[in-house]
């Protein structure tokens, strides 16, 4: 008997801090990003997430749009400081009520909620107690996860534990360009090790709560190409690949950190405690990969730790987005296969893909032709991967609407839906309408294929 293809999850993704606003309202505690954004010169344009898309008040209008676009899956994150203002202990009932309403509003519209537990907005109080550098983060996180399971586990069955650990530890605890603005290798390695343990803690905890839940965690990843054939550039590419694409996924899958290809990681062992090698391991149902671009890598003696530098897209004069990220659609197909090659990876979901471009607003129309062409080209490779990689089972566009793009403020727009920040007006962009048609066509084709397979299976019997 032939196996029937598994269902494919089409969706859109958002995060709490980037969209909700209401930063200081209804009992929410401050997050590290609320504090960081008030520091001078940290966020482009001096922007803050205080109002953002006002999703906290406008979630119903936004879910109406998701429904009208026939998008069946909605990924959002829970703001930890909204439900536990100090990070632990005292629960903010109004915060719980908000996510109760949001989840119910999804279900009423036939939209499946996919909850990310940590999308970078750590409660400020926990950072004051050491944040990701303090190993107690594991028990703080576990307390928060337990509360979320108790409150929402009756209606949410799809969970993503962390969003892109390399980015929040690298930019936040090594480079200091994201909250909480810490710098240095020690700070980075301890945050990274605790984040690695936390992803495993979260996965185990959710599965223990309900073995039928669909649980994963997400990773930023970029296809890596050496600048030249020289052995130096080739080896530099291996190191950058280990850092950007393998560092967090391999310990989870049981391989440990990629120390052989990235010798400086050996230092992470000073943060090990008894049994950590085992504790780093867990069995996710899927991994979420988030891909926007590729990186071209050249050897460099001047970059400490990795002796490699990235040659940016403008310098290479290749097509790129507003953020100077190369548009390289075939990379997503290669990455899907790269992760599928790990036997321990059961399923892959592209949990983010999208692009920032300047949009042209003409009255009520938004012709975002560059985003449209970016998505169409990436989709060709998603479709290829659907044909040749049985582990791929979902794709989420980043993002539903334009939002607060971290240190870049509101300037880069990634949305399928435009936000006019002067009055919070939502306008669906051309790319949004295209995605709707794409999903409808794909569902139709999948249905036909499914019926064919059923028919053939019956014939074979
Ligand atoms: C993050 C999003 C972010 C997007 C575009 C991902 O790194 O998960 O929060 O807005 O990429 O930069």
Per-residue pLDDT tens digits for 84-106: 999 999 999 999 999 999 999 99
Kindly report the pTM of this predicted structure: 0.97
Q: Which atom of ligand 1 is nearest to the CA of 163?
A: 8
- 399 CA to centre of ligand 1 in angstroms: 9
For the stretch 43-81, pLDDT in tens is 999 999 999 999 999 999 999 999 999 999 999 999 999
The stretch 12-31 carries a mean pLDDT of: 98
pLDDT of residue 407: 98
pLDDT at 8 over 70: yes
Read off the tokens for 135: 């190993």
CATH code for position 236: 3.20.20.80
The stretch 6-33 carries a mean pLDDT of: 97
Provide long-range contacts, Cβ within 8 A and 24+ apart, for 67-70: 67/109, 67/110, 67/111, 68/428, 68/436, 69/416, 69/428, 69/432, 69/433, 69/435, 69/436, 69/439, 70/436, 70/439, 70/440
- Residue 111 banded pLDDT, cuts 50, 70, 90: very high
pLDDT at 302 over 60: yes
Q: Which atom of ligand 1 is nearest to the CA of 354?
A: 5
- Residue 5 banded pLDDT, cuts 50, 70, 90: low
Question: Is residue 254 one of the residues assigned to a domain?
Answer: yes
pLDDT of residue 363: 87
Question: Is residue 380 one of the residues assigned to a domain?
Answer: yes
State the residue range of the domain holding 441.
9-460
Residue nearest to atom 5 of ligand 1 (CA): 405
pLDDT of residue 250: 98
Q: Is 164 marked active-site?
A: yes
Q: To test ligand 1's pocket by mutation, which of 177, 179, 221, 398 has the most ligand atoms within 8 angstroms of CB?
A: 398
d(CA 301, CA 307): 5
d(CA 303, CA 214): 40
Question: Is residue 1 one of the residues assigned to a domain?
Answer: no
Catalytic residue among 127, 164, 250, 326: 164
Question: Is residue 235 one of the residues assigned to a domain?
Answer: yes
Residue nearest to atom 3 of ligand 1 (CA): 405
d(CA 169, CA 184): 11
Instruction: Tell me whether the omega of the peptide bond preceding residue 246 falls within 30 degrees of 0, making it cis.
Output: no
Burial class (CB within 10 angstroms; exposed 0-12, middle 13-18, buried 19+) of 138: middle
pLDDT of residue 2: 42
Question: Is residue 259 one of the residues assigned to a domain?
Answer: yes
d(CA 109, CA 72): 9
The stretch 158-183 carries a mean pLDDT of: 99
Contact 222, 293 (CB under 8 A): yes
pLDDT of residue 13: 99
Q: To test ligand 1's pocket by mutation, which of 218, 352, 397 has the most ligand atoms within 8 angstroms of CB?
A: 352
pLDDT at 160 over 90: yes
If one counts the domains in the chain, the total is 1
pLDDT of residue 247: 98
pLDDT of residue 234: 98
d(CA 424, CA 161): 30
- 192 CA to centre of ligand 1 in angstroms: 18
Q: Which atom of ligand 1 is nearest to the CA of 406?
A: 10
Question: Is residue 4 one of the residues assigned to a domain?
Answer: no
Q: To test ligand 1's pocket by mutation, which of 320, 406, 413 has the most ligand atoms within 8 angstroms of CB?
A: 406
- Residue 1 banded pLDDT, cuts 50, 70, 90: very low
Catalytic residue among 20, 127, 295, 352: 352
- 323 CA to centre of ligand 1 in angstroms: 12
Q: What percent of the chain has pLDDT over 70?
A: 99
- Residues whose beta carbon lies within 6 Å of some atom of ligand 1: 15, 18, 163-164, 167, 220, 290, 352, 398, 405, 414
Question: Is residue 257 one of the residues assigned to a domain?
Answer: yes
- Residue 459 banded pLDDT, cuts 50, 70, 90: confident
pLDDT of residue 3: 43
- 414 CA to centre of ligand 1 in angstroms: 9
- 183 CA to centre of ligand 1 in angstroms: 21
Contacts of 341 (CB under 8 A, 6+ apart): none
The stretch 243-272 carries a mean pLDDT of: 98
- 232 CA to centre of ligand 1 in angstroms: 31
For the stretch 336-354, pLDDT in tens is 999 999 999 999 999 999 9
Question: What's the mean per-residue pLDDT of the chain?
Answer: 97
Q: Where are the alpha helices (DSSP H) in 20-176?
A: 32-37, 55-68, 80-83, 93-108, 124-128, 137-152, 165-173
What residue has token string 């029937």? 4
For the stretch 360-385, pLDDT in tens is 899 899 999 999 999 999 999 999 99
Q: Is 295 marked active-site?
A: no
- 324 CA to centre of ligand 1 in angstroms: 14
Q: Which atom of ligand 1 is nearest to the CA of 120?
A: 9
Sign of CA dihedral 198, 204, 208, 210: positive
Residue nearest to atom 12 of ligand 1 (CA): 405
Question: Is residue 2 one of the residues assigned to a domain?
Answer: no
């Amino acid at each position: 008997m032939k196996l029937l293809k598994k269902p494919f999850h089409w969706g859109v993704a958002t995060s709490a801090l980037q969209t909700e606003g209401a930063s200081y309202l209804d009992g929410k505690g401050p997050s590290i990003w609320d504090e960081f954004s008030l520091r001078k010169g940290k966020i482009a344009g001096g922007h803050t997430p205080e109002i953002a898309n006002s999703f906290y008040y406008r979630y119903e209008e936004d879910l109406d749009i998701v429904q009208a676009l026939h998008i069946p899956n909605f990924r959002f994150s829970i703001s930890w400081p909204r439900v536990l203002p100090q990070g632990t202990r005292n629960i903010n009932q109004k915060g719980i009520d908000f996510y109760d309403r949001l989840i119910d509003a999804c279900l009423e519209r036939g939209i499946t909620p996919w909850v990310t537990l940590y999308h970078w907005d750590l409660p400020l109080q926990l950072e004051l107690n050491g944040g990701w550098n303090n190993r107690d983060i594991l028990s703080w996180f576990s307390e928060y996860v337990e509360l979320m399971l108790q409150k929402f586990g009756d209606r949410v069955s799809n969970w993503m534990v962390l969003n892109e650990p390399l980015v929040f530890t690298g930019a936040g605890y090594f480079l200091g360009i994201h909250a909480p603005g810490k710098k240095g290798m020690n700070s980075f390695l301890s945050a990274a090790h605790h984040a690695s343990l936390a992803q495993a803690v979260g996965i185990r905890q959710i599965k223990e709560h309900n073995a039928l839940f669909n649980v994963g965690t997400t990773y930023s990843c970029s296809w890596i190409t050496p600048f030249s054939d020289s052995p130096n550039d080739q080896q530099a590419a291996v190191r950058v690949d280990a850092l950007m694409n393998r560092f967090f996924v391999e310990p989870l899958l049981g391989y440990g950190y990629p120390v052989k290809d990235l010798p400086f990681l050996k230092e992470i062992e000073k943060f090990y405690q008894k049994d950590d090698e085992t504790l780093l391991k867990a069995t996710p149902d899927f991994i979420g990969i988030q891909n926007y671009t590729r990186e071209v890598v050249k050897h460099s003696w001047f970059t400490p730790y990795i002796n490699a530098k990235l040659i940016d897209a403008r310098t290479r004069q290749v097509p790129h987005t507003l953020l100077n990220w190369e548009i390289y659609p075939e990379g997503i197909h290669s990455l899907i296969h790269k992760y599928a090659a790990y036997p321990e990876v059961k399923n892959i979901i592209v949990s983010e893909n999208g692009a920032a471009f300047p949009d042209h607003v003409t009255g009520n129309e938004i012709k975002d032709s560059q985003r449209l062409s970016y998505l169409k080209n990436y989709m060709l490779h998603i479709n290829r991967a659907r044909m040749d990689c049985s582990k791929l089972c979902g794709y989420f566009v980043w993002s539903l609407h334009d939002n607060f793009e971290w240190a870049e403020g509101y300037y880069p727009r990634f949305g399928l839906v435009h936000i006019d920040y002067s009055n919070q007006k939502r306008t669906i962009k051309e790319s949004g309408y295209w995605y709707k048609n794409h999903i409808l066509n794909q569902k139709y084709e999948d249905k036909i294929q499914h019926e064919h397979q059923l028919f053939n299976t019956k014939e074979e019997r």
